[in-house]
Amino acid sequence: MLFVSTITLLVAAVLPSVTLAAPTNTTIVARAPASFTHPGAFVSLPQLSFVRDKVKAGAQPWTNAYNQMMSSKYASLSRNPTPRATVECGSYSNPNNGCTDEREDAIAAYTLALAWYITQDSRYATKAISIFDAWSTTIKSHTNSNGPLQTGWAGTSWPRAAEIIRYTYTGWSSTSINNFSNMLRNVYLPGVINGSNSNGNWELVMLEAAQGIAVFLNDGASYDKVMTKFLGRVPAYVYLKSDGAYPKAAPGSGL
């Protein structure tokens, strides 16, 4: 009993987003915490501060990585975001009507958020916010065959960026936060929360996006739904010899 609850504590410490069902049962169940820890989604405040301290001290490999980040086009303070009402992505992003633009603007917002945190130079935070605003006041939908995958790709970067800005920078206005939250809730989340039964890589990136969005929106119900799917998909995606001759099937895949 003591042993099992020690394991429970250890697992809870390593995987703060996942809790064990009961001390005598090691089945992992999806369950949102009573309140989410922010910034979250991808990196935590202790991780961000750890890296900032390493960069300040000139330690490697953090300083080289930081320098590469700061000299990349994604950290540029002169980026002009190019939002669209409809991002249309066909197979292999052909046609590519806003697909690369959207992904790169979202990656830039995340890069700028990291740059803000490490430098504490507010120009990076306000640039990230201007990218949030450009997209949140414009985008309405993702269309064509790669639309769900595209929503997952772009949708993983937005909450990573927004969590850092919202919880470490005081200058993000409530109207702008509201617009951005509505964008994630209405344009992105419905496109990714059901996952995709077609390909594991599609479903996993869609669920990653949905999970980050649920954290940003403090939406425990969506978080539980996503994690339930994730916990079914991972054993189907990663083949173990102990699975037998065939990989496990994802729940609902009909296989």
Ligand X SMILES: *[C@@H]1O[C@H](CO)[C@@H](O)[C@H](O)[C@H]1NC(C)=O
- Which of 119, 141 has the CB closer to ligand X? 141
Q: Give the shortest CB-203-to-ligand X separation in angstroms.
A: 13
- Answer yes or no whether residue 175 interacts with ligand X by CB under 6 A: yes
Q: Give the shortest CB-194-to-ligand X separation in angstroms.
A: 4
Sole window of 22-30, 50-58, 60-68, 80-88 interacting with ligand X (rule: CB under 6 A): 22-30
Choose, by CB under 6 A, the member of 19, 100, 176, 197 that binds ligand X: 176
Sheet harboring 141-143: ordered strands across?
Answer: 96-97, 86-89, 141-143
- Answer yes or no whether residue 28 interacts with ligand X by CB under 6 A: no
Handedness of CA 151, 154, 155, 156 (dihedral sign): positive
- Which of 19, 119 has the CB closer to ligand X? 19
Q: Are 212 and 155 spatial neighbours (Cβ–Cβ below 8 Å)?
A: yes
- Which of 21, 255 has the CB closer to ligand X? 21
**Host H or E run for residue 178:** helix 174-183
Q: Minimal CA–CA distance to 209: which of 230, 188, 229, 228?
A: 188
- Answer yes or no whether residue 174 interacts with ligand X by CB under 6 A: no
First to last CA, the chain: 38
Handedness of CA 124, 125, 128, 130 (dihedral sign): negative
Q: Give the shortest CB-27-to-ligand X separation in angstroms.
A: 4
Sole window of 24-32, 91-99, 105-113, 149-157 interacting with ligand X (rule: CB under 6 A): 24-32
- Describe the chain by its helix, strand, coil percentages, rounded to 5: 60, 5, 30
Phi and psi (nearest 5°) for 16?
-60, -20
- Answer yes or no whether residue 67 interacts with ligand X by CB under 6 A: no
Residues of this chain that bind ligand X (CB under 6 A) = 21, 25, 27, 29, 133, 137, 173, 175-176, 179, 190, 194
